[in-house]
Amino acid sequence: MAAEKILETLDHYKSEIERLTKELTETTHEKIQAAEYGLVVLEEKLTLKQQYDELETEYDVLKQELEQLRENNPVIGLKESD
């Protein structure tokens, strides 16, 4: 009887170790996927920030060119639409 109880306890512990190992593997995999997704989001954010900065620079250049055109050609009846 005592040997049976020990074997049952050992089987229980083995099953619990297997369950916990599987759960740890799944959780680790999910954590890695979340980290990879986070990196993709950060890369996309950086790309969008760079595009925004480029567009803002282009806007400023075009705005300055328009102001120069107005100063040099007062006949042009352009309205400011900032």
- Residues 61, 52 contacting (CB under 8 angstroms): no
Query: Mean pLDDT of all residues in the chain?
Result: 92
Contacting residues for 70 by C-beta, under 8 A, at least 6 apart: 76, 78
pLDDT of 76 higher than 80:
no
DSSP output for 58-81: HHHHHHHHHHHHHHH-TT--PPP-
pLDDT of 82 higher than 70:
no
pLDDT of 35 higher than 90:
yes
